[in-house]
Structure 1
Amino acid sequence: MAKIFRRQRQLHPVAELNVTNMVDLGFTLLIIFMITTPLIQQEQTIPLNLPGESKKPQVPPESEFQTVSIDQSGKLYVGSKPVSFAELSRTLTEFAARSKPPIIRIRADMSLQYQQVVRVMDELTKRGLTRISLDTESK
């Protein structure tokens, strides 16, 4: 008669938790935040005194945004890059040529003459860029 060699299994709870995957996820999120934070802060480096408005719930963005800023002295910026009015016109033409044109955010200083903002808006409508957002400061 053959003898069966079996070990008796003893079930006991595992007292250690494997956190390797959580550490990997944490580092991945840290890298993503380190890359995206400077991109978000770029447009806020232009010193502007935005007009105020009452607080309201934010609508989530549905497509790409491009920012056109006008500072106190009337200088134009696309994103954070200073441009002349002729360069702005060429850039807007490029935006209009895209298959899905972006929403144009206009950030203008509160003390600026209204005519300068209207001039930029006029250039936008000439090129068919009618999706415009005027940035304000919530109070």
Structure 2
Amino acid sequence: MSIQLPNDDESSEMSEINVTPLVDVMLVLLVVFIVTTPLLTQVVRVKLPKTEQTEPAPDKHIAILSINAQGEPQLDDKPVPLASLETELKALQERDPDISIQLHADKAAVFESVAKVMASAQRSGVGKLSFVTLQQ
């Protein structure tokens, strides 16, 4: 078998494509995908317990703060102006430091009024504020 070298007097062009760099890039990408794919598909399967709806235990350290559809706050079914809500909540906490506030908001109430009531509760130093919703 003999190898023919191009002659100097013949001007011939090389018609082959060097694919070595392309194969190198493909192998590097393959390794990157193999390494990163398991990191993207981590799933923690947790079986959550199923329970029935229960009624909360009666607690004497609960105050109910409700907001009606017009955005007016009421503390334990007594209307309270928003300006004096903070002082009322401070007085409640002074009488009972373990008090927990349950917030009942009408679904037609504007969020701005709910946010103002929540801000008043935070400024008054309420440590336990919970939202009460109805089951659908």
Cα deviation for residue 60 of structure 1 reads 2.9
2:112 matched residue in structure 1 = 115
Does the CA contact (< 8 Å) of 1:72 and 1:112 recur in 2?
yes
Equivalent of 2:70 in 73, 89, 109: 73
Question: What runs of 5+ residues in structure 2 fail to find an aligned partner?
Answer: 1-51
How many residues get paired?
Answer: 85
Q: Quick one: distance in 2 between partners of 1:109 and 1:79?
A: 15
The Cα RMSD (Å) is 2.0
Q: Deviations over 1:97-119 (max 9, x none)?
A: 23523110111110212121121
Question: What runs of 5+ residues in structure 1 fail to find an aligned partner?
Answer: 1-54
Equivalent of 1:102 in 74, 99, 102: 99
TM-score normalised to structure 2 length? 0.54
Q: Percent identity?
A: 24
2:125 matched residue in structure 1 = 128
Does the CA contact (< 8 Å) of 1:95 and 1:101 recur in 2?
no
Question: Are residues 1:86 and 2:83 paired?
Answer: yes
1:26 matched residue in structure 2 = none
Does the CA contact (< 8 Å) of 1:67 and 1:107 recur in 2?
yes
Does the CA contact (< 8 Å) of 2:73 and 2:80 recur in 1?
yes
After superposition, where does 1:22-101 map in structure 2 within 5 Å? 56-61=53-58, 64-101=61-98
Name the larger-Rg structure.
Answer: 2
Q: Deviations over 1:77-99 (max 9, x none)?
A: 11111111122122111022235
Does the CA contact (< 8 Å) of 1:101 and 1:129 recur in 2?
no
2:3 matched residue in structure 1 = none
Partner letter of residue 133 of structure 2?
T
